[in-house]
């Protein structure tokens, strides 16, 4: 029989992530707010029993790696309507996550137009999920992509009726990057950005 402490610990972890992102949404969109987000994520990874790291890894953990903060990677993207379509997001190991494509976030990086599909997860009681791939994958970042938003798990930067905040400084790796016991949804080919996003979490060992 499952130990109820595991569920209570997971509940606490999700609540703490939600509080961290609430502080990001309510704070100024600057480097200091981002730095606090980094520090609080490091605390969860280092100390929380529901950390993606196992106990041995936590003992050696010295902080997650990131690209330098760059305010140019923050966007208020327009959400374009798309006909709802079912989508299955393959996992890093076994399994897949079922979802529904509901819209596309539209924004410019310089003069380059980016359209990033947005998904509504069927699991976890529902939530918006926005993963992406880019030219850093497989070298400075994980080959399967990174996540921008996962509102089912508290990673929420805010939105209006027609726009969504996408700040790539807050991009992060799925849990499977830190420990292979996790099987995580990968960014599908449709969510590939045709440039190098040198913002957000990076592989600690990357040059």
Q: Are 120 and 173 in the same domain?
A: yes
Q: Are 159 and 190 in the same domain?
A: yes
Task: Using pLDDT thresholds of 50, 70 and 90, give the confidence band for residue 205.
Answer: low
Q: Which residues pair with 130 in a beta bridge?
A: 149
Summarize the confidence of residues 11-28 as an average pLDDT.
96
Within-domain flag for 141 = yes
Residues in the chain: 207
Within-domain flag for 44 = yes
Q: Are 12 and 103 in the same domain?
A: no
Query: How many CB atoms within 10 Å of residue 22?
Result: 13
Place of tokens 């970042």: 141
Q: In which domain, by residue range, is 186 found?
A: 71-202
Into how many domains does the chain fold? 2
User: d(Cα 51, Cα 24) in Å, to the nearest integer?
Assistant: 21
Within-domain flag for 136 = yes
Structure confidence by residue, pLDDT tens digits, 62-105: 999 999 999 999 999 999 998 889 999 989 988 888 999 999 99
Structure confidence by residue, pLDDT tens digits, 121-141: 997 778 999 999 999 999 999
Q: Are 38 and 102 in the same domain?
A: no
Q: Which is it for the CA torsion 61, 67, 68, 72, positive or negative?
A: negative
Summarize the confidence of residues 135-153 as an average pLDDT.
96
Within-domain flag for 189 = yes
């Amino acid at each position: 029989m499952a130990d109820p402490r595991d569920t209570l610990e997971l509940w606490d972890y999700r609540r703490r992530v939600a509080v961290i992102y609430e502080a990001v949404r309510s704070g100024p969109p600057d480097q200091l707010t981002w730095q606090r987000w980094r520090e609080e994520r490091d605390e969860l990874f280092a100390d929380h029993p529901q950390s993606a790291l196992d106990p041995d890894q936590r003992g050696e953990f010295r902080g997650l790696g990131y690209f330098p903060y760059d305010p140019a990677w923050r966007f208020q993207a327009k959400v374009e309507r798309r006909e709802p379509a079912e989508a299955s997001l393959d996992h890093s190991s076994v399994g897949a996550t079922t979802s529904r494509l509901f819209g596309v976030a539209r924004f410019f990086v310089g003069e380059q137009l980016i359209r990033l599909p947005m998904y509504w997860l069927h699991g976890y009681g529902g939530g918006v999920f926005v993963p992406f791939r880019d030219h850093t994958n497989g070298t400075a970042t994980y080959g399967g992509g990174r996540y921008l938003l996962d509102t089912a798990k508290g990673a929420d930067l805010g939105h209006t009726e027609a726009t969504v905040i996408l700040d790539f400084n807050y991009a992060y790796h799925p849990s499977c990057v830190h420990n292979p016991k996790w099987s995580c949804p990968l960014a599908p080919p449709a969510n590939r950005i045709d440039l190098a996003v040198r913002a957000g979490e990076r592989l600690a060992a990357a040059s």
